[in-house]
Amino acid sequence: MQLPDPEAIEAIELPLLLEAMVQRYGYDFRDYAVASLKRRLRRAMDEEGIATLSAFQDRVLHDPKCMARFLNIVSVDVSAMFRDPAFYKVFREKVVPGLRSLPLIRIWHAGCAGGEEVHSMVILLHEEGLLARTRFYATDINERVLEQSRAAIYPISRMREYTANYQKAGGKEQFSDYYTAKHESATLRDLGRGNIVWAVHNLATDGSFNEFHVVLCRNVMIYFNRQLQARVHRLIYDSLALGGVLWLGSAESLHATPCEDRYETVGRAEKLYRKVR
């Protein structure tokens, strides 16, 4: 008797698991890149001590805490203050001048991870004198990540890296003035946290909720298949005001997307684009 092929069984079980997550919790991972999703599922199964996808499905359906733990694994929460410093320099030089004429600036950080890029932009606009009239909308699929972002507490061990990034990004002050160190943690100053709306938003299923002058969606779509990438690009395009700018991650591109011809390049190396039609 021929033994069942594990890969064939997995090919049957995976769609059932993803459909179950949609029906039970409303989280839709059906259009995530398969290889990346499988790696995260295997990690989750190892942590739960479960050997098969069907057993993992049973655990997820009956244990919301298991689903929460999986969200922590599938969420992309790797970031840094002033990551990719060259972008912030280009943003100061080529985007900030256009923002100065706006009575209210709206910025959307889609997939905000641990909030480091949100707080970096707060500091930048504070130094440019625009913070008081800026509203930030920081969204993520994972409420736990949003709680971390709100708290603005980061390991003190990362402050040297953050300081170097800040200096390369054209920072105008001493980065140490922007945080208070205590024991092993550093808490960022509350420069404009009242200007930030933290909210759960699922790029795979949710729609546009405002018109923005800047959208940052970095290193999120690399985990999606082409169909979902196209959906998110249309969502972002619909959410941007004419003349608004989009910042993508270093491994992402507008090439071959539905809206490719509707942007002009502001910074090619920095993956910064402006909506022109």
Q: Identify the pLDDT of residue 78.
A: 67
Kindly state whether residue 270 falls inside one of the protein's structural domains. Answer: yes
- Please check the confidence at residue 124 and state whether its pLDDT lies above 80: yes
Kindly state whether residue 80 falls inside one of the protein's structural domains. Answer: no
Q: Identify the pLDDT of residue 11.
A: 86
| Domain closes at, from 53, 74, 95 | 74
Q: Specify the amino acid at residue 174.
A: Q
- CATH number (domain holding residue 176): 3.40.50.150
Kindly state whether residue 169 falls inside one of the protein's structural domains. Answer: yes
Instruction: With CA atoms as reference, report the closest residue to 119 among 133, 104, 136.
Output: 136
The tokens of 123 are what?
Answer: 């500091």
Kindly state whether residue 147 falls inside one of the protein's structural domains. Answer: yes
| Domain closes at, from 74, 95, 125 | 74
Same domain, 49 and 91: no
Same domain, 64 and 91: no
Same domain, 133 and 263: yes
Kindly state whether residue 231 falls inside one of the protein's structural domains. Answer: yes
CB 148 within 8 A of CB 113: no
Same domain, 70 and 90: no
Same domain, 175 and 46: no
Same domain, 158 and 214: yes
Query: pTM here?
Result: 0.89
Same domain, 53 and 131: no
Whole-angstrom CA distances from 256 to 23, 43, 91, 230, 233 are 32, 32, 25, 9, 11
Same domain, 168 and 212: yes
Same domain, 119 and 54: no
DSSP 78: -
Same domain, 47 and 175: no
Tally of domains in the chain: 2
Instruction: With CA atoms as reference, report the closest residue to 160 among 186, 182, 183, 126.
Output: 186
Instruction: Name the average pLDDT for the chain.
Output: 93
Higher pLDDT, 47 or 79: 47
Q: Which domain holds residue 15?
A: 6-74
Task: Tell me the C-alpha distance between 56 and 70, whole Å.
Answer: 10
Kindly state whether residue 205 falls inside one of the protein's structural domains. Answer: yes
The label of the residue with tokens 């800047």 reads 214
Q: Identify the pLDDT of residue 55.
A: 95
Same domain, 100 and 237: yes
Taking the alpha carbons at both ends of the chain, their separation in whole angstroms is 63
- Please check the confidence at residue 74 and state whether its pLDDT lies above 90: no
- Residue 189 contacts by C-beta under 8 Å, 6 or more apart in sequence? 177, 178, 179, 180
CB 83 within 8 A of CB 114: no
Task: Tell me the C-alpha distance between 197 and 131, whole Å.
Answer: 14
| Domain closes at, from 22, 39, 74 | 74
Same domain, 251 and 132: yes
Report the pLDDT averaged over residues 264-274: 95
Q: Identify the pLDDT of residue 2.
A: 54
CB 248 within 8 A of CB 254: yes
- Please check the confidence at residue 77 and state whether its pLDDT lies above 80: no
Q: Identify the pLDDT of residue 193.
A: 82
Q: How does pLDDT run across 17-42, given as a tens digit for each residue? A: 999 999 999 999 999 999 989 999 99
